[in-house]
Amino acid sequence: MTTGPYTRIRHPLYFGEIVHIFGIAILSGTPMGFYLFIGAVLLQIVRAKIEERKFMRTLAEYEDYRKSTGFLWPKLVRV
């Protein structure tokens, strides 16, 4: 799928989850909230990397898609 948000970012759902968790961390106003945010971001990165390895093995065109989109942050300028 390369339409909608997928035209700029490969993992829009994970990006949304990171933004959501960031909001919760801010609302908590505690260092623990910040630490949980960092842990959640690291887990999302691992999750996305696992997913990308699967796509690389099964979809020949995925490499070109990777070059034109952002990983967990939208790529504003397309190549």
Q: Could you report the per-residue pLDDT of 4-44, keeping only the tens digit for each? A: 888 889 999 999 999 999 999 999 999 999 999 999 999 99
Q: Where are the domains of the chain?
A: 31-73
Q: Which residues pair with 9 in a beta bridge?
A: 70
CA distances from 1 to 6, 16, 23, 67, 68 (A): 7, 17, 28, 15, 14
Higher pLDDT, 46 or 7: 46
